[in-house]
Amino acid sequence: MNQQINLYQPIFRKQQIIFSAATIAWIAAGLLALLLAWSALVGQRINRLEAEHQRQLAAEQRAVERLGEMRADMPPSEPDPELVGAVEQLEARRENLHSSLQALALRLPARDGELLGHIDALARAVPQGLWLTGVRLAAEGQELTISGRALAARLVPEYLDRLSEEAMLTGTAFGRFSISASNDEMPGVTFILTTTEAE
């Protein structure tokens, strides 16, 4: 049995979806609204970032200004007056010793030049607060008498310890040592050291 089908009937044709102008307009309006909303969100985010950036710049500027004010308010750094005074005293003592050594060098014969080494060693070992008032060298440095003053008695043993470390005075021993309170208005003690050549 044969049956013919009419393909030209509307039921068998491919259906075409046709949008009306109003529908297209609504779709376009919706897309435009989405784009506008997205642009608004991005713009707000950018505005917040720019505002935060400006706040950071302002904070940095305030910090720089505050630092400048603090530097202006800070007094200039000055050295400790006590340290400056101690350094000046040491420099003056060094200059005096140097002048004394030069004067001795002019008066001593060449063969007695090593006596300058003894004097230099004696001066080098002097601690702060102690000073020598007299030095007597005899027998080409083998006999030595030292007199001096100190602000405290403990400085004299310290001076002896320092003398024992001087190479120029190696082998010498102190045969007489006396220390007594100062008998004038000056504070401290006076001392006398006499050395003889060690056996």
Residue-wise pLDDT for 103-145, tens only, equals 665 555 544 556 677 778 888 888 888 888 888 877 665 678 8
pTM: 0.43
User: Percentage of the chain surpassing pLDDT 70?
Assistant: 76
Q: How far apart are the first and last CA of the chain?
A: 155
Q: What is the mean pLDDT of residues 44-49?
A: 84
Give the pLDDT confidence score for residue 198 in this predicted structure. Answer: 44
E strands present in the chain: 130-138, 143-150, 172-181, 189-197
Give the domain ranges of the chain.
Answer: 23-73, 81-197
The fold adopted by the segment(s) 81-197 is Alpha-Beta Plaits (3.30.70)
Residue 84 confidence (pLDDT) above 70: yes
Give 127's DSSP letter. Answer: P
Which carries the bigger pLDDT value, residue 146 or residue 77?
146
Give the pLDDT confidence score for residue 195 in this predicted structure. Answer: 75
Which carries the bigger pLDDT value, residue 75 or residue 39?
39
Residue 161 confidence (pLDDT) above 60: yes
Give the pLDDT confidence score for residue 15 in this predicted structure. Answer: 58
Coil/strand/helix, residue 145: strand
